[in-house]
Structure 1
């Protein structure tokens, strides 16, 4: 993925768990705010609604970055490519800008699904490919298995969770991270530090959290149905947190608050 492409898509609008009119209205607000990157997945059951909303937006296809993810139920030779083709049809596009494996293959044998992902890329179904919810060890395996560049490992990433091992693996493998659950589904708002730091920059607690993630070198995915929050989540490029404030936030990583684990997703790997 080239540098210009990365810079233009550091902020993506996540669509989970939205559907129908609620999703259409949210995407309309996101487009108005400036978003051009949108994230969906087979698992979300909203690819068709997302595709319809983006098609109706009037934004040129070349200006959009559309990410979708293949679910583990389609990690077979018989179903992988047909499922991707079905996703593209639902999204009303001829290829995905970024196609991800939503989870590592349950059981730990990740080679087969990675080769199928490579095949989708080679057949022109995806401009870029990547992974999601991979551990550091799996990132190293994936880099050895896949010939095409892996442009992201989309993972839970926020200031209440220490993902330093994954950041180190990203540097080692050249597979950048991107975030989901960027504000820890609201858990960050229980910590006054974010509002306190944000006040010094004329920004909100949420904007402070998102800026911290970006300054870690991690693109963000955010979701809201409120136009004012959608716009605020996008407006995080016009300030820079000082190294002192970054350090103050860093200390909260020891909280160890993880949202997405085996309690929520039984086939999740043993995360770092």
Structure 2
């Protein structure tokens, strides 16, 4: 089972694009709410800010789960391990709980970067390793290549995008999915179904969308700077969507709305 499905860690607080005091304030609110999993990346430019925010937070280190991701420009053998050590210095950590590859290389050859990821874990720089933005074919190839288990493939996952192929690959490979863009950067709120279901169960539209993700077997990353929204995003464990409501939401996958397109991210792979 992925570390992200340990109790309390299935809901991570994402930190992109926060920096400085805005990040520190959001992290304080997230910790007060109950978040113990925090997600950052070399490419976010905020690892040092997160490290400072968590340094004196009052929560024991062993209760926290910190994830970071290696940027594409650091995939070179001479840069990879050093870049992870730099991330650890910025985060004020001895080791990461989870280290991910942020993207697959543009040429699609995933083997070298996976070997470097495994090397970083062998050196004790990370307890768990995983990937992000991998296609189903990449997941299958990675499962064949790796000695160590991959604890996640972090991908865009929300009700307006059918990720059935990735879910099937997760089942085949044992590499669980975790989400980003969990409410499609607000696009889900254009669909009355979420508010309608929410009214029936005493929850908000956002909480319904997030609960749907969890019930698909996918861990969640969410970000907000508003304490009330941070708390609401965390408060999704005390209700269950019916199979009928799950199916109604599933149907919205036909919308095929994707936030991270090749137009936005030129090095994105050919998505499933």
TM-score (structure 2 length as normaliser)? 0.98
User: 1:25 aligns to what?
Assistant: 25
User: 2:112 aligns to what?
Assistant: 112
CA distance in 1, matches of 2:32, 2:201: 24
Q: How does 1:1-272 map to 2 (within 5 A)?
A: 6-272=6-272
Provide the alpha-carbon RMSD of the alignment.
1.0
Helix, strand or coil for the counterpart of 2:104? coil
CA distance in 2, matches of 1:2, 1:252: 27
CA distance in 2, matches of 1:184, 1:2: 23
CA distance in 2, matches of 1:2, 1:164: 19
Structure 1 residue 7, shift from structure 2 partner: 2.9
- Tell me the alpha carbon deviations over residues 132-153 of structure 1, each in whole angstroms, 9 at most, x when there is no partner: 0000000011111111010000
- Tell me the alpha carbon deviations over residues 90-117 of structure 1, each in whole angstroms, 9 at most, x when there is no partner: 0000110000000001110110000000
Structure 1 residue 70, shift from structure 2 partner: 0.1
- Tell me the alpha carbon deviations over residues 166-191 of structure 1, each in whole angstroms, 9 at most, x when there is no partner: 00000000000000000000000000
Gaps of 5+ in 1: none
Helix, strand or coil for the counterpart of 2:233? helix
Helix, strand or coil for the counterpart of 2:35? coil
Gaps of 5+ in 2: none
CA distance in 2, matches of 1:5, 1:93: 22
CA distance in 1, matches of 2:7, 2:75: 31
CA distance in 1, matches of 2:20, 2:98: 23
CA distance in 2, matches of 1:125, 1:116: 12
CA distance in 2, matches of 1:215, 1:268: 27
CA distance in 2, matches of 1:3, 1:65: 9
Structure 1 residue 4, shift from structure 2 partner: 8.8
- Tell me the alpha carbon deviations over residues 223-249 of structure 1, each in whole angstroms, 9 at most, x when there is no partner: 000000000000000000000000110
Helix, strand or coil for the counterpart of 1:7? coil
Describe the shift of the 1:192–1:216 C-alpha distance in structure 2 as closer, same or farther (beyond 3 A).
Answer: same
CA distance in 2, matches of 1:256, 1:7: 31
Describe the shift of the 1:260–1:224 C-alpha distance in structure 2 as closer, same or farther (beyond 3 A).
Answer: same
- Tell me the alpha carbon deviations over residues 66-108 of structure 1, each in whole angstroms, 9 at most, x when there is no partner: 0000000000110000000000010000110000000001110
Structure 1 residue 56, shift from structure 2 partner: 2.0
Helix, strand or coil for the counterpart of 1:147? coil
TM-score (structure 1 length as normaliser)? 0.98
Checking the alignment, whether the CA contact within 8 Å between 2:37 and 2:64 is kept in structure 1 is yes
CA distance in 2, matches of 1:247, 1:146: 35
